[in-house]
């Protein structure tokens, strides 16, 4: 297996694991809890889920996959409801599944090419790594918030193995 394949497969698996963890958390929260903010400058779990979808879509589907950039970043953070925990979990899963399909098909040329995403100049490798890292960071926030909102500890980080 080539180094490119190893990197791309590991990246896809890490995104899957994080999406599964987000899905477990969303499954433990009520609609009120998903949209709860401790104060006005804090993001709700629902905002973080929308933000993850927007970020993945912009960096992977648009930046590396060539799709139209339809992201409205401010709307990710200003939302205060409207999507149920199940809807958000489905949106996260579908977004990651679509990104996974693009990531696992990237060529060495696409990985080494220069891409401009969010006004940043990055290689394809940097774009994939940035998305995986960003997703993992916000997944940790969602896990922490879920523990705080529910008092639960066990069962929040068990990823589904693929």
State the DSSP code for 55: H
Residues 6+ apart with CB under 8 A from 60: 99, 102, 103, 127, 128, 131
Residues 6+ apart with CB under 8 A from 158: 20, 21, 24
Cα–Cα dist 43/35, whole Å: 8
Neighbours of 42 (CB within 10 A): 10
Q: Does the structure show a pLDDT above 90 at 1? A: no
What DSSP line would sit under 123-159, residue for residue? EHHHHHHHHHHHHHHHHHHHHHHHHHHH---TTSS-P
Which residues on neighbouring strands pair with residue 149, listed in sequence order?
Answer: none
Return the pLDDT at 155. Answer: 64
Among residues of the chain, what percentage have pLDDT more than 70? 94
Cα–Cα dist 2/24, whole Å: 33
pLDDT tens profile 84-93: 999 999 999 9
Domains detected in the chain: 3-150 (1.20.120.450)
Among residues of the chain, what percentage have pLDDT more than 90? 85
Q: pTM for the whole thing?
A: 0.93
Do 26 and 34 touch, CB atoms closer than 8 A? yes
Whose structure tokens read 């912009």?
Answer: 58
3-state secondary structure of 63: coil
Cα–Cα dist 10/16, whole Å: 10
What is the pLDDT confidence band of residue 16, given thresholds at 50, 70 and 90? very high
């Amino acid at each position: 297996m080539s180094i490119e394949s190893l990197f791309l497969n590991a990246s896809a698996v890490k995104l899957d694991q994080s999406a599964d963890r987000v899905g477990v958390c969303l499954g433990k929260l009520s609609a009120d809890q998903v949209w709860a903010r401790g104060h006005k400058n804090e993001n709700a779990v629902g905002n973080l889920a929308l933000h993850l979808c927007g970020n993945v879509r912009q960096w992977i589907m648009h930046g590396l996959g060539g799709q139209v950039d339809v992201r409205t970043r401010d709307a990710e953070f200003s939302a205060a409801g409207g999507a149920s925990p199940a809807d958000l979990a489905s949106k996260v899963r579908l977004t990651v599944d679509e990104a996974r399909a693009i990531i696992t098909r990237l060529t060495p040329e696409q990985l080494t090419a220069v891409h401009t995403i969010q006004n940043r100049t990055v290689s394809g490798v940097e774009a994939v790594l940035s998305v995986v890292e960003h997703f993992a960071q916000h997944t940790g926030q969602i896990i922490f918030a879920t523990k705080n909102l529910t008092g639960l500890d066990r069962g929040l980080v068990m990823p589904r193995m693929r």
